[in-house]
Structures are given as C-alpha cells and as structure tokens.
Structure 1
Amino acid sequence: MLNKDTFVPIQFFKKEAYTGSMKGMRYRVKKEEEELSAVVYPEPYCYEATPEEQKIRAAFPFTEEGRGEVVDWINGQYEEKRPVWEKVERK
C-alpha cells in the first residue's frame, strides 16, 4: 500500500507525471490544469499501451490535501478491485 508520508511530493507533479505499480495494478498521477489526475489500470502494459476502457480515473485538487486523497484513492482502488489485479498475468 502507498504511504502518504513517503509518496511523491506535490512539487514533483509540476513538471511530470508519476507512475508506479502495486501487485498487478499500475497507477499514474499527473497535474492537469489545476488538478491532480489519477488513473489506475491493470498490468502488464504501460499507460499509453493500455486500452482506455481498462483505465479508471479520478481528479483531485492540486493541493497537499489532494495529494493525500490521491494516495487514499489509489489504495482504495487496489483493495476494491483486488480480484482484477490478482488475475493479471505477469511476464
């Protein structure tokens, strides 16, 4: 699970997107206008190669509180859809 205390600082998102993975689930967080856009999707492919219908999106304020909400949302998506992530074929 992601930890709010050690997750990427808010300033990072001013320059680029951040991607990561967690046991079959990939995620991407990016600043878009004045929001943090978060996306989760199944492995094994990168964001660009994953079909849009497999991506789940949410938007949060571009604030420190929003950064914490992103972490909570990603962790929640992992728990809520654990069977989806666990059935992903890993190469």
Structure 2
Amino acid sequence: MSEIENTGKYRHLSEDCIMPLNFYNYKQAFLGSCSGMRYRINMGERELPLPEDAKEGDKPPKEKFLTVETWPEPYSYTATDKEKITFRKYPFTQEDYEQLLADLDAAVDDYK
C-alpha cells in the first residue's frame, strides 16, 4: 500500500491500511508497505501451563498474540536478510492492536 492522506490520528498509516483484528483469528499473515518500509502482521499462539485444578485429558489453554515484522524495501519478506527485519510482539487485544498501528506508523520514519 502506498502512503495515504493524513487523517490526523496517524502520520503515515490508518486503520484502513491493515486488516481488522478479527482477520488474524484465521491465522493468515497480512503484508503491506508504506514509504520505504514493508511490514508483516501475523497471529501466533502459545500453550500455557495447565491450571492446578485441570482434569486428566484437559487441553492446555492457549494465549494469542500478534507479531509485527518490518524491513526496508524493495525486497520481499523471504528475500530479506533476517538481520534487517525488526520484530515486535503484542497481546491479542483491541487496545494493543491500536498500539501496534501507532508503533507501525511511527516506524515508517526509520525507513525513509
């Protein structure tokens, strides 16, 4: 995606530049670009320890999180050296999703 008109809340991106939080429940990555920066957003899960009162056969609870990776253009995610990719992790909540967008918006300046 290219740079969009400034809406006031963010300098480079808007909520329209990335998929809504529910999209990531389907475990699909979203890739985009803005002003020299490429990014990849994905949902991950990790198993938590079973609670002490768990019964035999209970499955461990899972914790969802979002990962954001950014790297300089022009290369794709797979063609970019891993040391050039910046990685961040966020809890899977609407509030943290909004923080993710704000951080992603601020990161654009690092790639200009």
State TM-score, norm by structure 1. 0.81
Q: Which of 35, 38, 41 is the aligned partner of 1:26?
A: 38
Taking the aligned partners of 1:24 and 1:52, their CA distance within structure 2 comes to 17
> 2:108 aligns to what?
78
Q: CA deviation at 1:23?
A: 1.2
Secondary structure of the structure 2 residue equivalent to 1:76: helix
Which runs of 5 or more structure 1 residues have no equivalent in the other structure? 87-91
Q: Distance in 1 between matches of 2:97 and 2:19?
A: 9
Q: Cα distance, 1:61 vs. partner?
A: 0.8
Q: Does the CA-based 8 Å contact 2:65-2:90 persist in structure 1?
A: yes
**Pair 1:2-2:32 in alignment:** no
Q: Give the Å deviation of 1:32.
A: 0.9
Q: Name the count of aligned residue pairs.
A: 81
Partner Cα separation in structure 1 for residue 70 and residue 35 of structure 2: 12
RMSD, aligned CA: 1.2
Residue type at the aligned position of 1:29: I
Name the structure, 1 or 2, with higher relative contact order (CA <8 Å, separation 6+).
1
Q: Secondary structure at the match of 2:74?
A: coil
Q: Comparing both structures, which one devotes a greater share of its residues to helix? A: 1
- Quote the residue 2:69 is aligned against: 39
Q: C-alpha distance in 1, partners of 2:72/2:38? A: 6
Rounded to whole Å, the distance in 2 between the matches of 1:29 and 1:66 is 13
What is the TM-score normalised by the length of structure 2? 0.67
Shift, 1:41, TM fit: 0.3
Aligned-partner SS, 2:24: helix
Partner AA of 1:60 in structure 2: Y
Deviation at 1:63, TM superposition (A): 1.1
1:61 to 87, 91, 103: 91
